[in-house]
Amino acid sequence: MISKKITVFLSEGLPKGIREVKIDQWSGKAVCGPRSRLSEMLKIPELNSGACVYFLTDDSQKGSLLQIYVGEADGFKQRIMNHDYTKDWWKDVVVFYSPDGSLTKTGIKYLESICIERLKGIGKCTLENNNQPARPSVPKEDISGLEFFYENIALIMPLLGFDIFVQEVHAEGKRELTLYCFGKGVKAEGILLNDGKIRVLKGSEAVEKNVASFDSHFYRGLKDELLHMGRLARKGKNLIFTDDYVFDSPSAAAAIILARSASGPVEWKDQNGATLKKLLEIAIEK
């Protein structure tokens, strides 16, 4: 696992105001701000003339997924003014660009395409993009640099509060912990990730019928959206995960699997029956 130094500059001194993000040894940069501060963001010269890829975002409601629109522009001001008048749902915008001008029009089209494609696969947001942009032809020698740019986009977005990408990071010397969740005739298998999230594996089962109290539960909206996206599908009397899915916490995963309020550290157990809570306590004591 490679360490990185990331600088977040609060240009207005506010944690939710305009934020500028830089990573050492990276030519890119990100700027984020609420819709109400758009006029101040547009005073950054590079945003008005250079190529960029951007994300329009909305708040998640009642445990449901964030609304996200991914776009690209060669001159952000005109593009965002069009969105400002035609899309009224977004509350924040994050723009990624290269202050030295090294990000090209072809490059941002490539980034837009892979961001949309991978976000669809991850399933941690509701994409407002109607179409999948074609991936442009890019010289082989440029792909590694653009993939590195994408990796930094995926790293920065959660730091700004938009946890829509999944980090594939494995700590040296640390084995992945496989866990199981049981209940009402279902069995789910998951892997605890280094950032505290849990990957529920394809083929895991979930209870279809919610207990009465789950109808007003925080994660009811998320369960409905997973069904709508096809990440959960009906199979007999239960539901099944049609692909791996990463939940933000073991408790979120357990609540969806068991269709009720659930404590992840208690519901998830290893192959010997030890709870996640106990395993974490043992790890602290070592």
Closest by alpha carbon to 271, among 283, 260, 279, 262?
Answer: 279
Closest by alpha carbon to 200, among 166, 255, 269, 247?
Answer: 247
Token pair 């550290």: residue? 265
**95 falls within a domain:** yes
Q: Locate 11 and state its tokens.
A: 């240009």
Give strand pairing partners of 232.
241
Q: What is the mean pLDDT of residues 60-73?
A: 83
Domain boundary among 112, 131, 159: 159
**Do 205 and 155 have their domain in common?**
no
Residue type, 22: K
Q: Could you tell me if 261 and 254 are in contact, meaning their C-beta atoms sit under 8 angstroms apart?
A: no
Give the confidence band of 49 by pLDDT, cuts at 50, 70, 90: confident
Domain boundary among 159, 188, 213: 159
**Do 97 and 208 have their domain in common?**
no
**Do 103 and 209 have their domain in common?**
no
Domain boundary among 159, 190, 209: 159
**20 falls within a domain:** yes
**Do 82 and 122 have their domain in common?**
yes
| Burial grade of 61 (CB within 10 A; 0-12, 13-18, 19 or more) | exposed
**Do 191 and 128 have their domain in common?**
no
Q: What is the mean pLDDT of residues 114-142?
A: 93
**Do 17 and 155 have their domain in common?**
yes
Give the confidence band of 88 by pLDDT, cuts at 50, 70, 90: confident
**Do 153 and 183 have their domain in common?**
no
**Do 28 and 140 have their domain in common?**
yes
Domain count along the chain: 2
Give the containing element (helix H, strand E) for 57. strand 51-57
**Do 198 and 228 have their domain in common?**
yes
Token pair 């909305």: residue? 58
**1 falls within a domain:** no
Q: Locate 163 and state its tokens.
A: 């946890």
| Interatomic CA distance for residues 241 and 232, integer angstroms | 5
Total-model pTM: 0.87
**Do 102 and 135 have their domain in common?**
yes
Q: What is the mean pLDDT of residues 56-77?
A: 85
Residue 216 DSSP SS3: helix
What mean pLDDT value characterizes the chain? 91
What is the model's pLDDT at position 175? 61
**Do 145 and 191 have their domain in common?**
no
- Strand pairing class (92-97; 51-57): antiparallel
Give the confidence band of 64 by pLDDT, cuts at 50, 70, 90: confident
Q: Look up the domain containing 45 and give its range.
A: 6-159
**Do 100 and 233 have their domain in common?**
no
